Chains A and B, each alone.
Chain A
Amino acid sequence: MIRHDVRRRCAAAGNGGTPPGGHRYRGTVRRLLPYALRFFRRHKGALIGLAAWSLLESVQTFLVGFAVAWSLDRGFLAGRPAEGLAWLAVAAASVLLAGPVLRGVFRRLSGLVEPFRDGLVRRAADQALGRAVADPARAAEAERAAVSRLTRQTEIARDGFAGLVLTVRSFAFTAVGAVAGMAALAPELLPVVLPPMALGLLLFLLTLLPMAAAQRRYLDADEAFTDRSAALRTGLRDLVACGTTGTAGSGLHGLAAEAEAAGRSLARWTAVRTLALGAAGQLPVVALLAAVPWLLDRGVSAGALMGALTYLVQSLLPALRTMMTAVAAAGSRLVVVLERFVPPEGQEPDAPAPQGAGGQEDAAPVPADGGAPPAVLCRDLRVSYGAGTPPLLEGFDLAVAAGEHVAVVGPSGIGKSTLAHVLTGLHSPDHGDVLLSGAPVRGRASPPMARARVLLPQEGYVFAGTVRENLAQLAPEAGDGRISEAVAALRLGPLVERLGGLEADVDPAALSAGERQLLCLGRAHASPAPLLILDEATCHLDPDTEAHAEEALARREGTTLLVIAHRLSSALRADRIVVLDGTSTAVGTHRELLRTSPLYRDLAGYWEAPG
């Protein structure tokens, strides 16, 4: 399926090609500012260290220009070439000094950049997990697809941030060294050189926002085109078969045209930036020359003029150029990427919404009367995907006694998994109650609720950790006894052995879907929860293994088992079967249902399909 996961940005870029305006961009920068300030406050130490090393860069800049000036005034022009050479040797030595200084700078830089990257990775993981867990049915897959993009963006941000810090700092401290040098050679140089330089810088700063907006438009358009072109190949067979290649082609041509338009606008701003950069580079030199008679009148020497030119041409301009390039290229990308890591305006920063907590009242089931409450009780449930959509379940009642084994069957898409979600608090019913052992299920799953029941979804979740950690995930305090009991009950011995024993590390990607499901079944067995809900959790196992697993779980002490059945055989093992058929429901044993439910007969008649 062609997923337009850049639809939002396509729309922004495609609607008549209006580029996002500079003001929007400024808003983003303003939004990011508090985060930036907080970050820098927290890493004051690294900043000070960086500044200290950078100060050496100022010293080095100062020395080079100063040595050139004196080599002329005291050496070559004074008829003492040896002294001139000696001063140039000083210049060479201070050039070489740049090596160790730069190494030191990079050491300090990593002390700033790596924590920055750590923060982004943490934030990315937080956001993706938060969104996926809040709406597992819809969000998880999309988030999964976004992981590689996330890693890439983290790296863009890391490189961009490092480049910015490096170049801005370099320009600032070079400027300090150069200004100090000119002041030492002849203070009259400063009023001549600084204003044209400032003018150039100002010009450049003015181009910054429109340039960033143009760059962003370009990146967005390019990304939209890239995403669609991958989808083009995936969907080609269907496009050809449906005769819709023409439509798809004009869609892509449109995106290519938008990318071209974005490229043209970027080219215009690049030209403007080149003008600003040229002005900042050439104006001070021309101004200095124009002022030579005035400077000579004030006793400024030829050496001092050469020194000033050295400062300009050899130190300041290269630093300015790299800074402008870095700011124009990395800067806007950095802001674009960082924006995706920060919650939109109006939302609380740093509030990962701990909705899982606050479940204290769920903890203590109060038996209404002396008898044990049913393990599962649903009263008059109405369940739908959202307001205004037809219900999946309506007036649904179900009582499952403690220790019972119940299977749920029904055609695909009828709402079996949604029922499992409702029972476990992952999906809220429109109205009606769910009580597990008398405790109402309200809101999100909480730790006390999690100790009362286990949901095993179709996709067996195995994580990078030891086999034991995986088996004991839901029972962290479980001793060896409980784990080996689970291993034995589900015949996990051979699998555990192949993986290298309980203490061996598991590589989830190296396991088959069936092996993952087996480990999850073991995890459920080891957990202390009395109610186990299996949502097609054995679909990748062969029928014999499935049968044994279900029987083993049903035999587990004090267990109530609710199985959303994948095969009819699985339903046959249950004490009772629930047949979901849209908004009507039938409950009974296999025999009863064959008599009373036409849908069940339909399902049973076909079910044993090979493959």
Chain B
Amino acid sequence: MTPFRRDTAACPVPEPLQGEARMALTDRHDDGGGTAARSADVLLARVARASAGRTAGILVCSAGAAAASLALPAVLGTTLDLLLDRAPGAGRMLAAAAALAAAEVVLSACTALLAGIVGARSTSRLRCGAVDGLLSTSPSEAARFSPGEVATRLSANAAEAGATPAAAAQVASAALAPVGALVALVLIDPWTALAFTAGLPLLVLLLRAFARRSTESVGRYLQVQASIASRLTDALGGARAIAASATVDAERDRVLRPLGALSTAGRGMWAVHGSAMARSGVLMPLLVTVVLAVGGLGLAAGRLSVGDLLAVSRYASLAAGLGAVAEPLGALVRGRTAARRVDALVRAPSLRYGTSELPPGGPGTLELRGVRVRRGQAQPLRGVDLRVPGGLTAAVVGRSGAGKSTLAEVAGRLADPDGGEALLDGVRLDRLAEAELRREVGYAFERPHLTGATVAEAVAAGARTASAEQVRSAARAAGADAFIRTLPQGYATPLDEAPLSGGELQRLGLARAFAHAGRLLVLDDATSSLDTATERQVDRALAHRVRSGTRLVVAHRLSSAARADLVVWLEEGRVRAVGPHEDLWHEPEYRAVFGRAEDAGTGPSHGSEGDDRHDPS
């Protein structure tokens, strides 16, 4: 057994993911098929080659251990006979038996050591390959896999796949011992071999007749367990209310109320488990006893010696271990399936970067030419032509599903268009070097994901790491400085100890973008959770304190559109119109985008938000 085969209990994957792990059997269509299987095998072969020497070592050691264990009963039997007869040469035979026993033990230990090391190496290689594959792909490609699925593929699946080289090297020797033992039985006394081969299926059948399968208690147990967990989750979600109403004790009792039912179901499970163990536990000793009886008759008839009887009983035990072949075989089968799932990450289509640089000092003119994007059946963009002159702020508006976020992705090359091209200052985005692209194009999102140990590190993270001074001034511009300073350790507060609301998270995301502002900044609904006073503050800072460049702002709020130099109005994946907000406002359908269809006839300054634009403040 290798230390890397893990049952579900040992698998450190969050509970809800285990279902996905099980889905490994019903692979997605894109992972399936002969090519995927071949590609996964190629991957496994490559990984195995990297540990070729050790894998060969496993083959030799495990075969040697099997051979030793096969020879041992015969030698033991002969030794016993010699000793019983007080014949000369017994000492030498005994030494041989001891040497064989030692060889078996040492070779098994070597097999375990090498299998463990090869497993660890292969797993690590697979993991690194899959991590690199995932990191090189575009976020929209990666979105096919849920975070839990990625975790399962990278951890549990990679470990299973990593165990395949060692398992493959052990299949032959795992079969060697039981098959050899059966042959040995035939050689010593064919009747015992006959008794064994006839007895095995008979006994299995007999025992199966008594089998009462019941998975009912297991299902019930899981159900009650889930209900306790969800009660606890609910109560934790209401922690503030519970704390305020001082009802912790009552809530705990409520959470634990199903515990009695859990116990009942649990006892049922143990009973079922006990019956199964009782059945499987008697099979082998019973078989050995039957073989012993046949051997005993041989002994009485003078066909066999006492030593032969010893050998026969041990060979019967060895032969009964034929089922153990299933273990490396099973590991092999599971490993190949798992390798396919890992391979899908390794082979994820990658965003390739070019080597071009942008013309120095360019204004950040953004141009899209005939951009089309396909996502499965959907076509979020169906031919977009657009030019945003450098230094201007363009608002992208449209109903949900119009393609706003896809446009934002393409504009800064988070995804490549399926047709057409995107250019910044006249250079195709996909020809730009990665560092150049990410330095000059920044993003802020509706729900940013921060990385880094502390708040300051999270804001500083980028193609170049921002200085402490840049972090602070960006945080001030994003309206985040004040709340960061109220955190327990200010900027040095560990991220996971900072209680952040949605609005605060957004402001940190904005600060990160501001700290690295280049010639294009894409804000994808990045101020949606801010209250209007803060949004206005951010807006002013963006205009005066952050490096000026082109801004593409995906927005739902009327005020954002009203403040922009240019509005890009998307409809069903196409540009419906481009122009200043005032000009578009006359169109009832444009107003309908903001839920203001009934305002027809009034000027664009109507509505509390519109007021702001002309507010001299």
Chain A 228-259 interface residues, beta-carbon cutoff 8 Å to B? 229-245, 247-249, 252-253, 256-257, 259
By CB atoms of chain B within 10 A, which of A109, A243, A447 has the most? Answer: A243
Pairwise interchain contact B236-A306, C-beta atoms closer than 8 A: no
Q: Which of A290-298, A339-347, A479-487 contacts B (4 or more CB under 8 A)?
A: A290-298
- Separation of A520 and B240 alpha carbons in the complex (Å): 13
In Å, the complex CA distance between A264 and B274 comes to 36
Interface size of A in residues (CB-CB distance below 8 Å): 184
Q: Is B24 an interface residue (CB 8 A)?
A: no
Q: Is B603 an interface residue (CB 8 A)?
A: no
* Cβ of A406 to closest chain B Cβ, rounded Å: 18
Contact present for B116 and A270 (CB under 8 Å): yes
Shortest distance from the beta carbon of A153 to any chain B beta carbon, whole Å: 9
Question: With A226-B155, A240-B138, A267-B112 known to touch, is A260 a contact of B248 (CB < 8 Å)?
Answer: no
Chain A residues whose C-beta falls within 8 Å of the C-beta of B530 in the assembled complex: 412
In the complex, A260 Cα to B117 Cα: how many Å?
A: 8
**B230 at the A interface (CB under 8 A):** yes
Q: Is A499 an interface residue (CB 8 A)?
A: no
Within 8 A of A (CB), among B124-176: 124, 127-128, 131-132, 134-139, 142, 145-151, 154-155, 159
Q: Which of B15, B113, B494 contacts A267 (CB 8 A)?
A: B113
A461 near B238 (CB under 8 angstroms)?
yes
- Which listed residue, B135, B240, B532, touches A245 by the CB 8 Å rule? B135
Take A233-B134, A278-B104, A426-B244 as given contacts and tell me if A611 and B271 are in contact as well, using a CB distance cutoff of 8 Å: no
Q: A445, B310: Cβ atoms under 8 Å?
A: no
A105 CB within 8 Å of chain B: yes
Q: Which residues of A contact B14 (CB under 8 A)?
A: 148-149, 152, 230
CB distance from B148 to the nearest CB of A (A): 6
The answer to whether B246 and A412 touch across the interface, beta carbons within 8 angstroms, is no
> Is there contact, CB below 8 Å, between A129 and B10?
no
Task: Give the chain B neighbours of A125 by CB distance below 8 A.
Answer: 228, 232, 252, 255-256
Cβ of A542 to closest chain B Cβ, rounded Å: 13
A445-B244 contact, Cβ under 8 Å, with A106-B271, A236-B142: yes
Contacts of B317 in A (CB 8 A): 313-314
Q: Are A230 and B151 in contact (CB under 8 A)?
A: yes
A455 touches B9 (CB 8 A): no
Residue-wise interface mask of B (559-571) relative to A, using a CB-CB cutoff of 8 A (1 in contact, 0 not) = 1000000000000
Q: Which of A92, A133, A290 contacts B239 (CB 8 A)?
A: A133
Looking across the interface, which residue of chain A has its beta carbon closest to that of B253? A125
Q: Contact check: which of B136, B448, B534 meets A412 at CB < 8 Å?
A: B534
Across the two chains, which residue of chain A brings its CB closest to B14? A148
In the assembled complex, the Cα of A140 lies from the Cα of B530 at a distance in Å of 23
Given contacts A99-B279, A263-B4, A266-B3, contact A75 B300 (CB under 8 A): yes
Q: Is the CB of A309 within 8 A of B310?
A: yes
Asked if A305 is at the interface of the complex by the 8 Å CB criterion, the answer is yes
CB <8 Å contact, A138 and B497: yes
| Interface status of A462 (Cβ within 8 A of chain B) | yes
Query: Interface readout for A342-362 with B: 1 if CB under 8 Å, 0 if not?
Result: 000000000000001000000
Tell yes or no: A285 within 8 A of B by CB: yes
Q: Identify B414's interface contact among A229, A240, A459, CB under 8 A.
A: A240
Which single member of A77, A102, A235, A243 contacts B435 (CB below 8 Å)? A243
User: Are A151 and B15 in contact, with the CB atoms below 8 A?
Assistant: yes
One of B135, B256, B536 near A606 (C-beta < 8 A): B536
- Do the beta carbons of A242 and B463 come within 8 Å of each other? yes
Q: Which residue of A has the minimal Cβ distance to B273? A: A106
Whether A282 lies near B296 (C-beta < 8 A) is no
Which of B80-88, B328-336, B382-390, B581-589 touches A?
B80-88
> Do A412 and B230 touch across chains, with their CB atoms under 8 A apart?
no
Q: Does A2 reach chain B (CB closer than 8 Å)?
A: yes
A124 to B461, CA, bound (A): 37
**Chain A 73-88 near chain B by CB (<8 Å), digits 1 or 0:** 0011101110011001
Is A68's CB within 8 Å of the partner chain B?
A: yes
Question: Once the chains are docked, how many angstroms separate the CA of A289 from the CA of B485?
Answer: 79
Chain B residues positioned under 8 Å from A260 (CB to CB): 120-121, 123-124
Please report the C-alpha to C-alpha distance between residue A242 and residue B499 in the assembled complex, in whole angstroms: 23
**Partner-contacting stretch, out of A21-29, A372-380, A381-389, A544-552:** A381-389
Q: Which of A32-40, A363-371, A428-436, A597-605 contacts B (4 or more CB under 8 A)?
A: A597-605
- From B94-102, B372-380, B541-549, give the one contacting chain A: B94-102
Measured CB to CB, the nearest residue on chain B to A4 is B496
> Which of A3, A107, A219, A520 is close to B496, meaning CB atoms less than 8 Å apart?
A3
In the bound complex, residues from chain A placing their C-beta under 8 Å from that of B9 are 152, 155-156, 159-160, 333
Contact yes or no, B300 A463, CB < 8 A: no
Which residue of the partner chain A has the closest CB to B120? A263
Given the known A-B contacts A447-B246, A610-B557, are A285 and B236 also in contact in the complex, defined by CB atoms under 8 Å?
Answer: no
Q: Which of A5-22 contact B (CB under 8 A)?
A: 5, 7
Query: Which stretch (B178-186, B357-365, B608-616) binds chain A?
Result: B608-616
B124 touches A445 (CB 8 A): no
Q: Let me know if A464 is at the binding interface, CB within 8 A.
A: yes
Contact of B229 among A148, A226, A274, A279 (CB under 8 A): A148
Contact of B148 (CB < 8 Å), options: A2, A143, A230, A389: A230
Min C-beta distance of B445 to chain A, whole Å: 7
User: Is B281 located at the chain interface by the 8 A CB criterion?
Assistant: yes
Q: Would you call B286 and A92 a contact (CB within 8 A)? A: yes
Question: What is the CB-to-nearest-CB distance from B267 to chain A, in angstroms, rounded to a whole number?
Answer: 4
Count B-side interface residues using an 8 Å CB cutoff.
182
B611 touches A605 (CB 8 A): yes
In chain B, positions 395-426 with a C-beta closer than 8 Å to chain A are 412, 414
B266 / chain A contacts, CB cutoff of 8 Å? 110, 113-114, 117, 158
When distances are taken between beta carbons in the complex, the residues of chain A under 8 Å from B263 are 114-115, 117-118
Q: Which residues of B contact A582 (CB under 8 A)?
A: 482
Contact in complex: A606, B533 (CB < 8 Å): yes
A485 CB, nearest partner CB in chain B, Å: 20
Residues of chain A lying within 8 A (CB to CB) of residue B604: none
Give chain B nearest CB distance to A327 CB in angstroms: 14
- A559 CB-CB contact with B under 8 Å: no
Chain B residues near A599 (CB-CB < 8 A): 533
**B267 & A114 in contact (Cβ 8 Å cutoff):** yes
Q: Does B262 contact A (CB under 8 A)?
A: yes
In the complex, the answer to whether A268 meets B119 with C-beta atoms within 8 Å is: no
Q: Mark B278-308, 1 if CB is under 8 A from A, else 0.
A: 1101100110111011001101110000100
- A606 to B532, Cβ gap below 8 A? yes
The residues of B that contact A454 with a CB separation of less than 8 Å are 244-245
Residues of A within 8 A of B325 (CB): none
A50 within 8 A of B: no
Q: Which single member of B236, B245, B259 contacts A445 (CB below 8 Å)?
A: B245
CB of A242 within 8 A of CB of B124, answer no
Q: What CA separation (Å) do A275 and B108 show in the bound complex?
A: 8
Stretch at the interface among B27-35, B39-47, B501-509: B501-509
The 0/1 profile, CB within 8 Å of B marked 1, for residues 122-160 of chain A is 101110111011101111101110011111100110111
User: Nearest Cβ distance between residue A94 and chain B, in whole angstroms?
Assistant: 9
Contact B448 A606 (CB under 8 A): no
Pairwise interchain contact B252-A235, C-beta atoms closer than 8 A: no
> Does any Cβ of A come within 8 Å of B462's Cβ?
yes
A232 in contact with B134 (CB, 8 Å)? yes
Q: A103-B278, A106-B277, A609-B609 are in contact. Are A229 and B151 (CB under 8 A)?
A: yes
Determine whether the beta carbon of A232 is less than 8 Å from that of B282.
no
* CB-contacts of A442-495 with B (<8 A): 444-447, 449-450, 454-457, 459-465, 473-474
> Among the listed stretches B190-198, B436-444, B469-477, B572-580, which one makes contact with chain A, having 4 or more residues with CB under 8 Å of it?
B436-444
Q: A76-B300, A267-B113, A274-B105 are in contact. Are A233 and B150 (CB under 8 A)?
A: yes
A183 at the interface (CB under 8 A from B): no
**Those 5 A-B pairs whose CB atoms lie nearest each other, nearest first:** A267-B116, A461-B238, A243-B438, A106-B274, A606-B532
Task: Contacts A140-B237, A236-B139, A278-B109 known; list 19 others, CB within 8 Å.
Answer: A81-B296, A92-B289, A98-B278, A126-B252, A129-B252, A144-B237, A152-B9, A226-B12, A231-B451, A233-B151, A268-B116, A271-B110, A272-B109, A282-B105, A285-B76, A413-B501, A459-B237, A603-B531, A608-B607
